[in-house]
Amino acid sequence: MKTDIYYFSGTGNTLYAAHHLANRLGAKLKPVAALVNESGIETDADAIGIVFPVYYGDLPVVVKKFLGHLEKIKGKYIFAVATYGGGAGSSFKTMSQILEARGGILSASYGVHMPQNAFRKPWENNDATLDHALRKMERIADDAKDRKTGKHYPGVLMKPILCLMHEAFKPLYKKGMLKYSNASPETDFDMLVHLADKSFTVSDACNGCRICANVCPVRNINIANGRPIWLNRCENCLACYDWCPSTGEKALEKRPFSKPF
Protein backbone atom coordinates (compact mmCIF):
# COMPACT_ATOMS: atom_id res chain seq x y z
CA MET A 1 0.00 0.00 0.00
CA LYS A 2 1.45 3.34 -1.04
CA THR A 3 1.97 6.01 1.62
CA ASP A 4 2.74 9.71 1.26
CA ILE A 5 3.92 11.74 4.23
CA TYR A 6 3.34 15.48 4.22
CA TYR A 7 5.30 17.48 6.76
CA PHE A 8 5.95 21.00 7.94
CA SER A 9 9.11 21.69 9.94
CA GLY A 10 10.90 24.82 11.07
CA THR A 11 13.71 23.98 13.45
CA GLY A 12 13.98 20.33 12.39
CA ASN A 13 12.09 18.35 15.04
CA THR A 14 9.24 17.47 12.72
CA LEU A 15 11.53 16.72 9.79
CA TYR A 16 13.41 14.28 12.03
CA ALA A 17 10.15 12.52 12.87
CA ALA A 18 8.82 12.57 9.31
CA HIS A 19 12.10 11.25 7.89
CA HIS A 20 12.13 8.25 10.23
CA LEU A 21 8.50 7.49 9.47
CA ALA A 22 9.12 7.66 5.75
CA ASN A 23 12.08 5.28 6.03
CA ARG A 24 10.10 2.75 8.03
CA LEU A 25 7.11 2.91 5.70
CA GLY A 26 8.90 3.26 2.39
CA ALA A 27 6.89 6.45 1.97
CA LYS A 28 7.55 9.56 -0.05
CA LEU A 29 8.23 12.77 1.88
CA LYS A 30 6.40 15.87 0.67
CA PRO A 31 6.98 19.32 2.22
CA VAL A 32 3.75 21.16 3.02
CA ALA A 33 5.35 24.57 2.48
CA ALA A 34 6.21 23.72 -1.13
CA LEU A 35 2.63 22.67 -1.93
CA VAL A 36 0.48 25.05 0.08
CA ASN A 37 -0.13 27.51 -2.76
CA GLU A 38 -1.44 24.87 -5.16
CA SER A 39 -5.17 25.14 -5.80
CA GLY A 40 -5.82 21.40 -5.53
CA ILE A 41 -3.60 18.78 -3.93
CA GLU A 42 -4.18 15.13 -4.82
CA THR A 43 -2.30 11.91 -4.15
CA ASP A 44 -2.67 8.40 -5.50
CA ALA A 45 -1.41 7.00 -2.18
CA ASP A 46 -3.73 4.78 -0.15
CA ALA A 47 -2.43 6.24 3.13
CA ILE A 48 -1.58 9.82 4.03
CA GLY A 49 0.58 10.84 6.96
CA ILE A 50 0.57 14.44 8.14
CA VAL A 51 3.41 15.38 10.49
CA PHE A 52 3.45 18.82 12.08
CA PRO A 53 4.62 20.86 15.09
CA VAL A 54 2.11 22.35 17.53
CA TYR A 55 2.09 26.16 17.66
CA TYR A 56 -0.02 28.07 20.16
CA GLY A 57 -1.78 24.82 21.04
CA ASP A 58 -2.97 24.29 17.46
CA LEU A 59 -1.97 23.58 13.86
CA PRO A 60 0.51 25.93 12.18
CA VAL A 61 -1.29 28.32 9.84
CA VAL A 62 0.45 26.84 6.78
CA VAL A 63 -0.79 23.35 7.69
CA LYS A 64 -4.38 24.57 8.00
CA LYS A 65 -4.12 26.14 4.57
CA PHE A 66 -2.58 23.00 3.09
CA LEU A 67 -5.31 20.75 4.50
CA GLY A 68 -7.92 23.02 2.98
CA HIS A 69 -6.50 22.26 -0.48
CA LEU A 70 -6.56 18.47 -0.23
CA GLU A 71 -8.84 16.77 -2.73
CA LYS A 72 -10.19 13.22 -3.26
CA ILE A 73 -9.29 12.01 0.21
CA LYS A 74 -12.52 10.15 0.93
CA GLY A 75 -11.82 6.57 1.98
CA LYS A 76 -8.08 7.10 2.46
CA TYR A 77 -6.31 6.14 5.67
CA ILE A 78 -5.10 9.42 7.17
CA PHE A 79 -2.88 9.50 10.24
CA ALA A 80 -1.43 12.55 11.94
CA VAL A 81 1.65 12.98 14.11
CA ALA A 82 2.02 16.09 16.26
CA THR A 83 5.46 16.97 17.59
CA TYR A 84 5.55 19.25 20.60
CA GLY A 85 7.38 20.34 23.71
CA GLY A 86 4.21 20.47 25.77
CA GLY A 87 1.06 18.95 24.29
CA ALA A 88 -1.16 18.53 21.24
CA GLY A 89 -3.68 21.20 22.31
CA SER A 90 -6.54 21.58 19.85
CA SER A 91 -4.48 20.54 16.82
CA PHE A 92 -6.16 17.20 16.13
CA LYS A 93 -9.63 18.69 16.63
CA THR A 94 -8.84 21.42 14.10
CA MET A 95 -7.41 18.89 11.66
CA SER A 96 -10.46 16.63 11.95
CA GLN A 97 -12.78 19.52 11.19
CA ILE A 98 -10.84 20.54 8.09
CA LEU A 99 -10.52 16.97 6.79
CA GLU A 100 -14.21 16.26 7.30
CA ALA A 101 -15.07 19.40 5.36
CA ARG A 102 -12.92 17.98 2.53
CA GLY A 103 -14.65 14.58 2.67
CA GLY A 104 -11.97 12.76 4.66
CA ILE A 105 -11.57 11.37 8.15
CA LEU A 106 -8.63 11.52 10.54
CA SER A 107 -8.14 7.80 11.15
CA ALA A 108 -5.39 7.92 13.77
CA SER A 109 -3.59 10.60 15.77
CA TYR A 110 -0.29 10.46 17.65
CA GLY A 111 1.67 12.84 19.81
CA VAL A 112 5.46 12.80 20.07
CA HIS A 113 7.37 14.80 22.66
CA MET A 114 10.43 16.50 21.14
CA PRO A 115 13.04 19.00 22.41
CA GLN A 116 11.50 22.38 23.15
CA ASN A 117 12.63 25.13 20.77
CA ALA A 118 10.28 27.97 21.75
CA PHE A 119 12.01 28.52 25.09
CA ARG A 120 14.72 26.95 27.24
CA LYS A 121 14.18 23.77 29.25
CA PRO A 122 17.51 23.32 31.04
CA TRP A 123 16.16 20.30 32.93
CA GLU A 124 15.33 18.40 29.75
CA ASN A 125 17.64 15.68 28.42
CA ASN A 126 17.44 16.12 24.66
CA ASP A 127 19.25 12.86 23.87
CA ALA A 128 16.81 10.87 25.97
CA THR A 129 13.89 12.76 24.45
CA LEU A 130 15.04 11.96 20.92
CA ASP A 131 15.66 8.30 21.78
CA HIS A 132 12.12 8.00 23.11
CA ALA A 133 10.77 9.82 20.04
CA LEU A 134 12.55 7.40 17.72
CA ARG A 135 10.98 4.41 19.48
CA LYS A 136 7.61 6.13 19.17
CA MET A 137 8.17 6.59 15.43
CA GLU A 138 8.76 2.85 15.07
CA ARG A 139 5.49 2.11 16.83
CA ILE A 140 3.59 4.65 14.72
CA ALA A 141 5.03 3.16 11.52
CA ASP A 142 3.94 -0.32 12.59
CA ASP A 143 0.46 1.01 13.39
CA ALA A 144 0.26 2.72 10.00
CA LYS A 145 1.17 -0.53 8.23
CA ASP A 146 -1.65 -2.23 10.11
CA ARG A 147 -4.01 0.72 9.46
CA LYS A 148 -4.63 1.11 13.18
CA THR A 149 -7.16 3.78 14.13
CA GLY A 150 -7.84 5.86 17.23
CA LYS A 151 -6.14 8.43 19.43
CA HIS A 152 -2.70 7.51 20.71
CA TYR A 153 -1.00 10.35 22.57
CA PRO A 154 -0.33 11.43 26.16
CA GLY A 155 -3.10 13.43 27.80
CA VAL A 156 -5.85 12.17 25.51
CA LEU A 157 -8.15 11.70 28.52
CA MET A 158 -7.53 15.34 29.44
CA LYS A 159 -8.18 16.53 25.91
CA PRO A 160 -11.51 18.33 26.61
CA ILE A 161 -9.94 20.25 29.48
CA LEU A 162 -6.79 21.04 27.51
CA CYS A 163 -8.85 22.31 24.58
CA LEU A 164 -10.78 24.57 26.93
CA MET A 165 -7.49 25.82 28.39
CA HIS A 166 -6.22 26.54 24.90
CA GLU A 167 -9.33 28.58 24.10
CA ALA A 168 -8.97 30.43 27.41
CA PHE A 169 -5.32 31.31 26.73
CA LYS A 170 -5.88 32.32 23.11
CA PRO A 171 -6.99 35.90 24.00
CA LEU A 172 -3.74 36.28 25.96
CA TYR A 173 -1.71 35.15 22.96
CA LYS A 174 -3.63 37.60 20.80
CA LYS A 175 -3.09 40.45 23.24
CA GLY A 176 0.67 39.95 23.08
CA MET A 177 0.64 39.65 19.30
CA LEU A 178 -1.39 42.81 18.92
CA LYS A 179 1.06 44.73 21.08
CA TYR A 180 4.07 43.85 18.94
CA SER A 181 2.42 43.79 15.52
CA ASN A 182 0.60 47.14 15.77
CA ALA A 183 -2.38 45.46 14.08
CA SER A 184 -6.01 46.36 14.73
CA PRO A 185 -7.91 44.40 17.43
CA GLU A 186 -10.16 42.92 14.70
CA THR A 187 -7.21 41.20 13.01
CA ASP A 188 -7.68 37.44 12.58
CA PHE A 189 -5.49 35.29 14.85
CA ASP A 190 -3.84 33.48 11.94
CA MET A 191 -2.94 36.82 10.37
CA LEU A 192 -1.41 37.91 13.67
CA VAL A 193 0.83 34.84 13.52
CA HIS A 194 2.04 36.01 10.11
CA LEU A 195 2.75 39.43 11.62
CA ALA A 196 4.71 38.02 14.56
CA ASP A 197 7.92 38.79 12.67
CA LYS A 198 7.32 42.49 13.31
CA SER A 199 8.80 41.85 16.75
CA PHE A 200 12.02 40.33 15.33
CA THR A 201 15.09 42.54 15.22
CA VAL A 202 18.71 42.12 14.19
CA SER A 203 21.81 43.45 15.96
CA ASP A 204 25.29 44.38 14.75
CA ALA A 205 26.37 40.80 15.41
CA CYS A 206 24.63 39.83 12.15
CA ASN A 207 27.20 39.08 9.42
CA GLY A 208 24.70 38.72 6.58
CA CYS A 209 25.36 34.98 6.16
CA ARG A 210 21.84 34.37 4.75
CA ILE A 211 21.29 31.23 6.81
CA CYS A 212 18.05 32.65 8.24
CA ALA A 213 16.70 33.26 4.73
CA ASN A 214 17.81 29.84 3.53
CA VAL A 215 16.25 27.87 6.40
CA CYS A 216 12.92 29.73 6.53
CA PRO A 217 10.42 27.08 5.37
CA VAL A 218 7.97 29.63 3.96
CA ARG A 219 10.52 31.96 2.31
CA ASN A 220 9.56 34.82 4.61
CA ILE A 221 13.01 36.46 4.70
CA ASN A 222 14.87 38.59 2.18
CA ILE A 223 18.39 39.91 2.68
CA ALA A 224 18.95 43.60 1.91
CA ASN A 225 22.19 45.44 2.62
CA GLY A 226 23.43 42.40 4.48
CA ARG A 227 20.50 42.28 6.89
CA PRO A 228 17.35 40.13 7.03
CA ILE A 229 13.98 41.66 6.23
CA TRP A 230 10.89 39.72 7.31
CA LEU A 231 7.96 39.78 4.88
CA ASN A 232 4.99 39.36 7.27
CA ARG A 233 3.98 35.86 6.28
CA CYS A 234 5.74 34.31 9.26
CA GLU A 235 4.76 30.92 10.72
CA ASN A 236 6.53 31.77 14.00
CA CYS A 237 8.53 28.53 13.78
CA LEU A 238 11.74 30.23 15.04
CA ALA A 239 13.94 28.53 12.45
CA CYS A 240 15.64 31.87 11.73
CA TYR A 241 16.43 32.37 15.40
CA ASP A 242 17.40 28.81 16.29
CA TRP A 243 19.61 28.29 13.23
CA CYS A 244 21.36 31.68 13.41
CA PRO A 245 25.09 30.96 13.96
CA SER A 246 25.44 34.25 15.84
CA THR A 247 22.61 33.79 18.35
CA GLY A 248 25.15 33.60 21.14
CA GLU A 249 25.94 37.22 20.31
CA LYS A 250 22.24 37.96 19.80
CA ALA A 251 22.41 38.68 16.09
CA LEU A 252 18.71 37.85 15.99
CA GLU A 253 16.59 39.09 18.86
CA LYS A 254 13.82 36.70 19.86
CA ARG A 255 10.36 38.22 20.22
CA PRO A 256 9.23 38.90 23.80
CA PHE A 257 6.40 36.36 23.71
CA SER A 258 6.67 32.66 23.00
CA LYS A 259 4.56 29.60 22.25
CA PRO A 260 3.65 27.98 25.58
CA PHE A 261 2.60 24.61 24.09
Q: How far is CA 36 from the centre of its chain?
A: 14
Name 228's bridge partners: 223
Q: Which residues, at least 6 apart from 231, have a Cβ–Cβ distance to it below 8 Å?
A: 197, 220, 221, 222
Domains of the chain: 3-154 (3.40.50.360), 200-253 (3.30.70.20)
What is the pLDDT, as a whole number, of residue 34? 94
pLDDT of residue 174: 83
Render pLDDT for 48-99 as a digit per residue (tens, 0 to 9).
Answer: 999 999 998 899 999 999 999 999 999 999 999 999 988 888 899 999 999 9
Mean pLDDT by 10 residues, the chain (261 residues): 94 94 96 92 96 94 97 97 89 96 97 81 83 93 96 70 69 81 88 90 86 94 93 92 71 46 29
∠ CA 60-228-16, rounded to 5°: 40
Q: List all residues 6 or more positions away from 211 whose beta carbon is below 8 Å from its beta carbon.
A: 243, 244, 245
pLDDT at residue 169, as a whole number: 72
